Amino acid sequence: MVGPAVPVAASYEVMEALTSVQVTVPTEGASAFDLTFELSNRSPLHTLFLLAGGAGIPILRVVLVATLNGTPNVLIDGVMTNHEVSPGNQGKATMSIKGDDLSVVMDHIDLSGIPYPAMPIFTRVAAILAKYAPLGVIPKVIPNLNPVPPNPLDRIPRQQGTDLQYIQMLAKQVGYTFYMEPGPKPGTSFGYWGPLIKTGPAQPALTTNMDAHTNVESLSFRFNSNKKMLPIVLIQEPFTKLPIPIPIGDVGPLNPPLGAIPPIPHKIKLLKQTAKMSFAEAAEAGLGEASRSSDVVSASGSLDVLRYGRILQPRKLVGVRGAGHAFDGLYYVETVTHKIKRGEYKQDFTLSRNGLVSTVGKVPA
């Protein structure tokens, strides 16, 4: 689907010219797409994409939907940001269309100074995301642990930077993350602002070294114990003004241990900026920092979607089997890259978890 502001089904000419699609979906940050077209030198698509690329604000919206087993899956809902044309032989040219998800639209205008009186952090985020409802953005905002609004007689929070910069700054302040989650219907997206949730039902297992049951093309693992870090927040005692150091662990209800043997932290990081926060605010920042440094086991590989039987979803759990006692078990899907050509649909992926040896006896087949 493609179109200015409101996308519509692509024409026959566009679909026939499309030769490959690549969509990268990370856990944090913007998703990106790359479309490759093979065009004749007189194709009207040259004019269409050149006009859209010359607009001051990216208005050419692109929605990519993959249908597998009769179920549509929205891969990305974004806007075009760049195009490249490479002249070829025999009157053919190759055009590459690149773009990011709808979060790039939130990063165009600096709105520093907008006041948010008596509004807690999560309410400010919801108010900002509500402005993008015409683009089909639905706020999915999880209240933070300390949703106490600031007293307007003491201070009035004001926006700093663009909408995207301010939302990301607020997310980092409380140990949260922000990303756009496309779907479930084409033309809609969830603007998720909340903690990384590493729990829930797992996707069918990625299987290696099991003969006919193997459903991945490659899968390799890495253990990096030096990544483990222990964050220490500093709380200022209100009467004596003395800093009180408090270590923060990396295990919580939304971040359960996926590995039974986590390594001992090799580093200690003092979060000095927490001295001016309340205990709840400092704990939020510490939990976010601990979560980002806890995943010492990582895996990367590729699979054929038709053999796997479904599309591997990012930001969810997936099982792994056949890799040995140390690396079997549940993992969190960090990044997925979709690679689609005519008659071919493959995915590259990266996984992570906090330690060796599985915490579950069996993973979904």
Written in H, E and C, the secondary structure of the chain is: CEEECCCECCCHHHHHHEEEEEEEECCCCCCEEEEEEEEECCCCHHHHHHHHHCCCCCCEEEEEEEEECCEEEEEEEEEEEEEEEEECCCCEEEEEEEEEEHHHHHHCCECCCCECCCCCHHHHHHHHHHCCHHHCEEEEECCCCCCCCCCCCCCCCECCCEHHHHHHHHHHHCCCEEEEEECCCCCCEEEEEECCCCCCCCEEEEECCCHHHCCCCEEEEEECHHHCEEEEEEEECCCCCCEEEEECCCCECCECCCEEECCCCCEEEEEHHHHHCCHHHHHHHHHHHHHHHCCCEEEEEEEEHHHHCCCCCCCCEEEEECCCCCCCEEEEEEEEEEEEECCEEEEEEEEEECCEEECCCCCCC
Predicted confidence (pLDDT) at residue 222 exceeds the cutoff of 50: yes
* pLDDT for res 48: 60
Please tell me the distance from the alpha carbon of residue 39 to that of residue 47, in angstroms, as a whole number: 12
* pLDDT for res 42: 65
Highest mean pLDDT among 243-257, 264-278, 282-296, 331-345: 331-345
- Which class is 203-223+296-358 in CATH? mainly beta
Per the DSSP assignment, residues forming a β-bridge with 38 are 94
Predicted confidence (pLDDT) at residue 92 exceeds the cutoff of 80: no
* pLDDT for res 320: 95
Give tens-digit pLDDT for 60-72: 889 999 999 888 9
Burial category of 237 from C-beta neighbours within 10 Å (exposed 0-12, middle 13-18, buried 19 and up): exposed
Please tell me the distance from the alpha carbon of residue 4 to that of residue 60, in angstroms, as a whole number: 5
Is there a contact between 135 and 182 (Cβ–Cβ < 8 Å)?
no
Q: Among residues 176, 178, 181, 143, which one has the least CA distance to residue 163?
A: 178
Q: Which residue has the tokens 């995301």?
A: 129
What's the mean pLDDT in 228-240? 81
In the chain, the percentage of residues whose pLDDT exceeds 90 is 48
What's the mean pLDDT in 268-289? 78
What's the mean pLDDT in 330-343? 95
What is the domain partition of the chain in residue ranges? 2-105, 107-194, 203-223+296-358, 225-293
Higher pLDDT, residue 254 or 316: 316
* pLDDT for res 56: 47
Give tens-digit pLDDT for 99-116: 999 999 999 899 999 999
Predicted confidence (pLDDT) at residue 57 exceeds the cutoff of 50: no
Please tell me the distance from the alpha carbon of residue 245 to that of residue 233, in angstroms, as a whole number: 6
* pLDDT for res 234: 83
User: What CATH fold (topology level) applies to the domain 107-194?
Assistant: Phage tail protein beta-alpha-beta fold (3.55.50)
Give tens-digit pLDDT for 133-154: 999 999 999 998 777 788 888 8
Model confidence, pTM = 0.88
Mean pLDDT estimate for the chain: 87
CA 124 to chain centre: 21
Predicted confidence (pLDDT) at residue 253 exceeds the cutoff of 80: no
Give tens-digit pLDDT for 30-56: 999 999 988 776 666 666 655 554 544
Predicted confidence (pLDDT) at residue 337 exceeds the cutoff of 70: yes
Predicted confidence (pLDDT) at residue 293 exceeds the cutoff of 70: yes
Lowest pLDDT segment from 133-137, 225-229, 298-302: 225-229
